[in-house]
Structure 1
């Protein structure tokens, strides 16, 4: 029996999204009686988000699915400053053009989870540059800055951590928390937004916005945070051995995205199914009862469902079929990730270690060497133990490719070009 009466909070609760709420009873009452507008802020520091952002994106999805209005707030203004929260050093400053290009790219990602075109409660993407870039500095100090205590700001963990390590915290970055708090007040004025959501590391910043709103006469504002997510082995979400798990297929092929979820640890499958799919809870409960080798079926369902939301059902099923043929039949598939290598390079011969690095299966020759010495590398399904081996035209199969494998689950097709 859920402690919530509103559909939205009940859904978040049963799926494991809730870490902390500023006024649980008040927010539940608000959601139960009216349509609520809520937002999550994103600094457009890259052209794509990664898997580590998925928890918050799914919170916006469920907000809209239960009849409310989601806002993805793009930090076109704050992104020029950089969030200092728990960062060890200042972020590289970005130009306006870089930020705007990233925002355009990010909207394509959000459009897979949110509906911007529906007649009622359409999702909104708003850029805080709309109000921050035109601020009058003296008026802002007088009207907003006076509500902030420097003593209190210095006590925030995100700031304290930097200062305790004797790392520089610029005045530019110090202003970030004031600008972020002001965003909440401005969004309330423009859209009636009453809730800001985010990861648990953003709690202090969100509470800042609530306090500022109280001092500047907004209605009661609320905060809701989700747990910072790690795998059961303690690894941070959003990273794999080969780098960030991007949500943009130009940066990460659909097949690799599917494989990331297929490789989920046994202990995480049900938790991730609740967080990252839209499967009904009774279906997830059924998956939770699977034991032994059947857990692999649950992993395949997880991978296909997560991939289907982002890349479409057809692409997800194609990735699943590619994996089945590759692992169960040992067949080649055009849908496996591939790289092109000049024919002249192959004719001259490419060092095995160099090819492994070029294919993205290792970050350095040293790492590639360790893979070879550990017996993890195969060429055309044949184990290779000689790290000095040259790979040439003779390895090109009748299919016109060289299949380079690392372990059982990572395969790259090398195509002569």
Structure 2
């Protein structure tokens, strides 16, 4: 199965320029996708493009990942309702290094003829003067051509307008394609469907400036079945960097996908074969409540983005929070990983010094830490058997809690009922 067929059956393909598939069948072809370094991590919204490059390389072609050190200083208007804040060179350099490290997890940068390569468009723009640019590039594309692009039209029709900086973005991206076509033999640019206009500007520039031929391919923009934006949660974007989104929360994002989304996403975000996916679908449909597809999706992608250990910890964390999992595994976690599991769960500071002498459980939960609004309510629920500390039911209202209850000499997990968790942090 060739590259285009692979994207097609996985439901990833959106637009493809005539002649692209034939060009790809000629042999090893170089192609690229651009990533804007607007943050020091990629997020799950970038995974479609990462998977596109993975499939491209697996099909025997040579992938280039362009990190836009220059375009990141300008900002792409595509899909944006207003202009983005511009970043300094120092921040952009930091972000580029972080993104490269992440991409190295997915692409093979040492596989011979089709080794992946990373390029930075700042390298060819840093000495390019404005006058040279408008003379050598700007003259080849008319304003009429540029104004016809949907990304430009939408911004001009909106309230915020469009700055000249953003208007020039498609020229800069177009020149990227021309430069890589000329110097790296890149015949293909790929990207999300919102990038079609920018990509085609590049093919047009190559045609007008050098009478050359280049090709374009875009993938579907991923949306949730309910219409909400993919990759966004109540707390914001789901990042690949564990310091931004903990491996546990990352795992939960995929595990909580609807049946319809999970069946689509497992085709897009894993490398499982058609036969494997059909078998998973069939198994899932027999017992949907077991969430077979969601579990397979979450396992595959958590291991590839993070690690096997992070996946195991995420599973044990889920069993602990939502099932009958043991608390013992928390003792082996770093403070950061433990806090990642309890991210979003209400936390209270308590005095380690007071714990050393022992604190009455009612005082602890109804006063020192406001797990309950009052000591009387804490007392009532403890007497009813509805309160646990570190997964062990509190024996009575006279129980003393001391430092022996601390996990990692710092944490106590309080539980009110079955699902209401609180984290007490002893300082």
TM-score range, shorter chain: 0.7 to 0.9
Q: Which protein is bigger by CA-based radius of gyration?
A: 2
Is 1:398 matched with 2:405? yes
Alpha-carbon separation, structure 1, partners of 2:238 and 2:416:
18
Written as runs of structure 1 = structure 2, the 5 A alignment for 1:357-396 is: none
Matched with 1:296 is 291
* Structure 1, unaligned runs of 5 or more: 1-5, 355-377, 383-392
1:150 aligns with 2:150: no
The normalised TM-score by structure 2 is 0.81
Deviations 1:355-380 (A, max 9, x none): xxxxxxxxxxxxxxxxxxxxxxx985
Match of 1:283 in 2: 276
Matches within 5 A, 1:224-303: 224-289=217-282, 290-291=284-285, 292-293=287-288, 295-303=290-298
Deviation digits for residues 65-94 of structure 1 (CA, Å, limit 9, x no counterpart): 121111110110111111112322211111
User: Which deviations, in whole Å up to 9, do the C-alpha atoms of 1:151-198 show, x marking residues without a partner?
Assistant: 232232212222212323211111111101110000111210011111
Which residue in the other structure is 1:17 paired with? 12
Aligned residues between the structures:
377
The Cα of 1:271 is off from its aligned counterpart by: 0.9
Confirm whether residue 222 of structure 1 aligns to residue 215 of structure 2: yes
Structure 1 distance, partners of 2:418, 2:82, is 39
SS at match of 2:52: helix
The structure-2 alpha-carbon separation of the partners of 1:118 and 1:405, relative to structure 1 and needing over 3 Å to count, comes to: farther
Q: Distance in 1 between matches of 2:224 and 2:204?
A: 34
Tell me how large the CA RMSD over aligned residues is.
2.9
Distance 1:237 1:407 in 2: 33
SS in 2 for 1:194: strand
2:426 aligns with 416
Change (3 A) 1:270 1:98: same
* Residue 201 of structure 2 corresponds to residue 211 of structure 1: no
C-alpha deviation, 1:293, in angstroms = 3.3
**1:108 aligned onto 2:115:** no
Give, in whole Å, the separation in 2 of the partners of 1:295 and 1:406.
27
Inter-partner Cα distance in structure 2 for 1:381 and 1:122: 50
The residue matched to 1:189 in structure 2 has which SS? helix
| Distance verdict in 2 for CA 1:265–1:147, change over 3 Å | same
2:181 aligns to what? 188
Q: 1:411 to 1:256 in 2, by over 3 A?
A: farther
Deviates more, 1:54-63 or 1:113-122: 113-122
In the alignment, structure 1 residue 160 sits paired with structure 2 residue 160: no
Give 2:72's aligned residue.
79
User: Are 1:258 and 1:303, in contact at CA under 8 Å, matched by a contact in 2?
Assistant: yes
Deviation at 1:261, TM superposition (A): 0.6
- Please state how far the C-alpha of 1:402 moved relative to its aligned partner: 3.6
Q: Specify the alignment match of 2:397 in structure 1.
A: none
**Which secondary structure state, in structure 2, belongs to the residue aligned with residue 19 of structure 1?**
strand
Separation in 2, partners of 1:293, 1:241:
25
Does 2:24 match 1:31?
Answer: yes
**Paired residues of 2:350 and 2:369 also in contact (CA < 8 A):** no
Aligned partner of 2:165 in structure 1 is: 172
